[in-house]
Structure 1
Amino acid sequence: MKPPVTPRVHGIIDYVACAGLLVLPRVLGLSPAARARSQAFAAAYLALTAVTDFPPALRRTVPFPWHGRAELLSVPLVLLSARGEGPREGRYFAGAAAMVLTAFLSTDWAADPDR
């Protein structure tokens, strides 16, 4: 069965996720270090999304499948970023990693990038 998320929808999901990574740590009262790490992930995902070859990009240079590989490789980094923090931060980063993994697994990486 083909995954249901098209490249266009994946891009929209990414922009919304970036906004969440920027706003949620403060709303949830996470530590300043956790907020900074979440902002760094948001900046990295935003930069990648802005240059990926799909409709919501600002400049379409990174092939869509490479975007997926980068996201998948980031999952362990997001999980590990909660090391040395409290349980609230651990749950936050576990949820963020789960969000990235779910978006990855739900996306049709072989689809025409203009879909």
Structure 2
Amino acid sequence: MKLRFITPTLHGVADYTAGLGLVVAPFLLGLGKTSQVAIWFSVISGLAVFAASLLTDYKLSLLKAIPFQGHLAIDLLVAVTFMIVPFAFDFSGLDAIYYWFNATVVFLVVSLSASK
């Protein structure tokens, strides 16, 4: 079994789904108990995910300006950022767990994504 089984197309589906989730989930989960930054950092990140997805060289994009390997590098930067954000903004409780969970998911998706 190949460990990298997420194709660029499937990765694209995950990106658009994640972008939507990052925009909507903070409101559904009631984030922001520690800081309103917990909400708006997620929303802005979700919009950035949509933008990067529209620019990535895979089947589901419009412009194909970012090579898929570059997109994976951006995803890794996002995962590291999501790990650090709770410490940087002193999040606790669900606000912190939300970012650490998302960081873990992004790390997993990147590690399981097959390059073109």
- Shared fold, TM over 0.5: yes
Structure 1 ranges of 4+ moved more than 4 A: none
- For residue 63 of structure 1, what is the amino acid of its counterpart? P
Q: Aligned equivalents of 1:12 and 1:77: distance in 2?
A: 22
Q: Deviations over 1:66-107 (max 9, x none)?
A: 100111122111111223112111110001101111110110
- Specify the SS of the correspondent of 2:38: helix
Q: Aligned equivalents of 2:38 and 2:13: distance in 1?
A: 25
Q: 1:2: how far off? A: 4.8
Identity %: 26
- Specify the SS of the correspondent of 1:82: helix
Q: Deviations over 1:23-72 (max 9, x none)?
A: 11111110022110001111221111110000100211111111001111
Q: Aligned equivalents of 1:40 and 1:96: distance in 2?
A: 14
1:34 to 8, 31, 38: 38
TM-score (norm 2): 0.89
- For residue 29 of structure 1, what is the amino acid of its counterpart? G
2:76 alignment counterpart: 72
- For the aligned residue pairs, the C-alpha RMSD in angstroms reads 1.1
- Specify the SS of the correspondent of 2:86: coil
Say whether residues 1:106 and 2:112 are aligned partners. Answer: yes
TM-score (norm 1): 0.90
Higher relative contact order (CA 8 A, sep 6+): 1
